[in-house]
Structure formats: structure tokens, C-alpha cells
Amino acid sequence: MNEFINKDILNYVELNSQQEPTLLKELNKETNLKILNPRMLCSSYQGRVLSIISKIIRPKNVLEIGTYTGYSALCIAEGLEKNGIIHTIDINEELKEIQNKYFKKSGFGNQIQQHIGNAIEIIPKINECFDFVYLDADKENYNEYFDLIIDKIVSGGVLICDNVLWSGKVLNTNHQDLITCLSICYEPVHLMVLRKDKQLKLNKIERFIYCYSIINL
């Protein structure tokens, strides 16, 4: 991600952000040393943003789509209610070992429920409503994930979608679908936040216009 951010801005963010907790530093290091495609890891300052948002919301039920090595789940867990639960989904079973290692070390292990498999198949089977949803998975399926989760978000709940610019790929002129066009027109940010209104009943076009106009982080 860093190659798409102005270095001066990046330096400013790093100098003025909360320090990365020791356990997350260890996870960051192990991910970069041992795991394929470590650039998929949530950045330390992005993790601090997730932590702050979670502490503000104090969620009871969280859904995360895209666990990877568990970094973002641990950031969100920092703000969980005492008996709160995170349901986190990842398709890669090989990552479960490193996830478990750090979930147990964090003290949040009993509050994080892991699901391995295709999120499109798993989400309908989770019989819960959520006050916080974090979406950081395969970008081509974001629209389908949105359709699956929007009715599971409680009134006033928050949906965060990571990297909706897909590392700049939305600017590829070969992709002329509706969502790409809306991304180009409405999406100047890396992190997209949607707070669900009680009366939110939107069609597909309105949904994405609504999402892209909420909060500029």
C-alpha cells in the first residue's frame, strides 16, 4: 500500500500515530518473515484507526471478512464489550495456526470465533446481527458481500470497507462496470466507513454512492 501514499504524508502519520502494541509488532514481523503476500497485512497505523473506532463503538458482535493472520481482528478486539464476540472469516486454512497463536497470546482467544471457507457461503449461516463489520477480502466480491451483510447490521451499526481503491486497479479502463465507475467518481480514500441508518433502503447504485460519501479518513 505504501507505494501509493505520498512519503511526507506517510512520515507524518507514522510520527503522530499511537505506537504499535508489542504483540502486534511480533505478529507483523512473523507475517513478513513467514507468510506469502505480507503486503496484505493491515498496516500499523490503519490498525490504530480500527482500534480507535472499535473503542468508540464498543461493539458486542463483530463480523470480519478477511482474517489473514489476525492483525486487524486483534485491533478491533481492543474495543470489544466485555462479553463481545468477533466472527472472522478467511478462506485460507493454512493461516489458522498463526491466527490461533496470536489470538491466544492476546487474551482475546475466547472472544474470537474463526470460520474457514468461502465467506459467501459462511455469512448466511451465522445467525447473528452485528454492530461492527470490517470487510477486507477479495475486492471483486465486495458488492456481493455488501448484499449479504447489510441486513445483518443493526441500526446505527458501522461497516468499514478496506482498500476500496484496490491498489489503484479501479482506474483500469478495461473495467467499465458500474461499481468501478462509482469508485473512480466517488472514492478518494483508502478506508470507507458506512454508518447504517435505521431507514436505509437503497438500491445498488444508491448504496455505493451513499457509502462513498460518508467519511473521508
205 pLDDT above the threshold of 50: no
The whole-chain average pLDDT of the chain stands at: 80
Separation CA 58–CA 78 (nearest Å): 9
What does the pLDDT look like over 129-153, one tens digit per residue? 999 999 999 888 888 998 999 999 9
82 pLDDT above the threshold of 50: yes
Residue identified by cell 458500474 is 178
Write down the pLDDT at residue 173.
Answer: 53
Amino acid residing at 55: K
* Helices 96-106 and 22-34, packing angle to 10 deg: 170
| DSSP state at residue 21 | P
Q: Given pLDDT bands bounded at 50, 70 and 90, which one contains residue 196?
A: low
Asked if 70 and 109 touch (Cβ cutoff 8 Å), the reply is no
Q: Given pLDDT bands bounded at 50, 70 and 90, which one contains residue 201?
A: very low
Write down the pLDDT at residue 15.
Answer: 80
Asked if 84 and 73 touch (Cβ cutoff 8 Å), the reply is no
pLDDT over 70, % of the chain:
72
The CATH class given to the 2-212 domain equals alpha beta
